[in-house]
Structures are given as structure tokens and as C-alpha cells.
Amino acid sequence: MKSLSLLICCFVCLPSFCFAADSPDAGKKAENTYCVACHSTRIINSQRLSAAAWTKEVDKMMGWGAVVPDKQLLIDYLATEYSNTKPMPVPATSGDGAGGKTH
């Protein structure tokens, strides 16, 4: 009986430990759920903002109708992944080195 109880506890509790609300996976899931509903991640990836600036952006998007149940989780993720202390991403190229430009 104890073994069965332990087994059930593992199946019920383990997923919450694996994907805790403060994990990067939870933040990425929030980004993909709440941000990508309206636009691509490219616009987010091109930003480098402070936590205060990300808060203003999320508030602005919520004002425009975005539904974000866990606002702080999303802000914490964005402020970490797309921090103003990180370098800007290298622009994508077309593969031929032209960077999407035509001659």
C-alpha cells in the first residue's frame, strides 16, 4: 500500500517539479502562448530591454487585449532572455551571404 501511495505521489508531484513556474521552460511556454498569439518571436528576439521596460511592454500588450495569466512569470523570462545587458542577435542571412539582398 505504501508503495502504491509513493508511486501515485511521484506521478502527481514530479511534473510540477520538472516544470516549475520559475523554470526557463515555463517562461518560454508563456512567451509562445501569450506573445506568439499576435506576432512572431522575431520581434521579441530583436529587443534588448530592462525588466522595467519589459514590464511596460507587457502592460501595453495587455492593454491592447493580450491575456497573460501569469504576468510576472512572462516578465521575468523576457527580462532574463532578452536583457538589455545581452548583445543584439546577429541578423539572419539568406545563406549566400547576401543577407536577403538582391543584386
More confident residue, 24 or 56: 56
Degrees to nearest 5, angle at CA 14 with 13 and 18: 125
The mean predicted confidence, pLDDT, of the chain is 78
pLDDT at 96 over 80: no
Least confident interval from 1-10, 27-36, 44-53, 70-79: 1-10
- Is 5 within a domain? no
- Is 10 within a domain? no
pLDDT at 75 over 90: yes
Q: What are phi and psi of 72, to 5 degrees?
A: -65, -35
Domain count for the chain:
1
Task: Tell me which DSSP letter residue 22 carries.
Answer: T
Containing structural domain, residue 75? 20-81
- Is 102 within a domain? no
Q: What is the CATH number of the domain that holds 63?
A: 1.10.760.10
What pLDDT sits at residue 10? Answer: 35
